[in-house]
């Protein structure tokens, strides 16, 4: 009887710890998404971004967005034109701490981009979130429409956080190791050594 009571108590504690870790992990992801949305609004509504995107003025886009990315600690920001082509991506290299630039990738097949270009909306609105594979590993990305000065769609803006960075933050708050799988159960990231 004593062994059964002790075992049941330990099992209940373990299950409660798992539930608490899951709750904390979900809260961290929601907070990260809110941060992405705040930064998307700041960038999308910065004067000149919409018209520069419409005109495909990459140097001006970089001049407008790089300081915002630096100040906000954004790991990745991508600007996509109406054809779904990446005009500019600024990705923070975790090794050097410098932003690397990329452009020219066709992102039109990515749901985060395609939904915006097709003016799709879900029950939450016209912003979308998802996992995207990058040169630095998978990341949590949020996308938003960018409008020009006349209020017409000029393109898409994406902001992302590397999954490794996100998991490290979750681990420190949840006091638990995490493992993330994709839909086919392939390992995406883990905090386990």
- DSSP line for 64-101: HHHHHHHHHT-SEEEEE-TTSBEEEEEEE-TTT--EEE
Distances (CA, A) of 29 to 34, 148, 162, 165, 177: 9, 30, 12, 11, 15
Query: pLDDT value at position 158?
Result: 94
80 half-sphere exposure, CB direction, 13 A CA radius: 26
Q: What is the pLDDT of residue 186?
A: 84
pLDDT of residue 1: 66
| 9 half-sphere exposure, CB direction, 13 A CA radius | 6
For the chain, which residues score pLDDT lower than 70? Answer: 1-7, 124-125
pLDDT at position 57: 92
What pLDDT score does 193 carry? 80
Distance of alpha carbon 190 from alpha carbon 193, whole angstroms: 8
> So what's the pLDDT on residue 171?
84
Which pLDDT does position 67 carry in this prediction?
Answer: 93
The size of the chain, in residues, is 193
159-193 pLDDT per residue, tens: 999 988 888 888 888 877 788 888 888 888 888 88
The predicted structure's pLDDT at residue 6: 62
Yes or no: say if 158 and 141 are a contact pair by the CB < 8 Å rule: yes
């Amino acid at each position: 009887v004593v062994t059964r009571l002790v075992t049941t108590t330990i099992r209940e504690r373990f299950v409660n710890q798992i539930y608490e870790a899951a709750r904390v992990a979900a809260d961290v992801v929601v907070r990260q998404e809110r941060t992405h949305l705040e930064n998307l609004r700041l960038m999308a509504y910065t004067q000149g971004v919409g018209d520069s995107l419409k005109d495909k003025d990459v140097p001006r886009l970089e001049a407008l967005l790089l300081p915002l990315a630096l100040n906000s600690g954004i790991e990745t920001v991508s600007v996509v034109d109406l054809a779904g082509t990446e005009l500019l991506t600024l990705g923070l290299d975790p090794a050097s701490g410098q932003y690397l630039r990329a452009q020219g990738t066709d992102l039109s097949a990515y749901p985060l981009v395609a939904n915006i270009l097709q003016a799709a909306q879900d029950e939450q609105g016209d912003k979308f979130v998802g996992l995207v594979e990058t040169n630095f590993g998978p990341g949590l990305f949020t996308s938003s429409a960018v409008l020009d000065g006349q209020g017409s769609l000029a393109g898409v803006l994406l902001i992302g956080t590397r999954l490794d960075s996100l998991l490290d933050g979750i681990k420190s708050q949840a006091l638990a190791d995490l493992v993330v799988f994709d839909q086919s159960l392939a390992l995406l990231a883990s905090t386990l050594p």
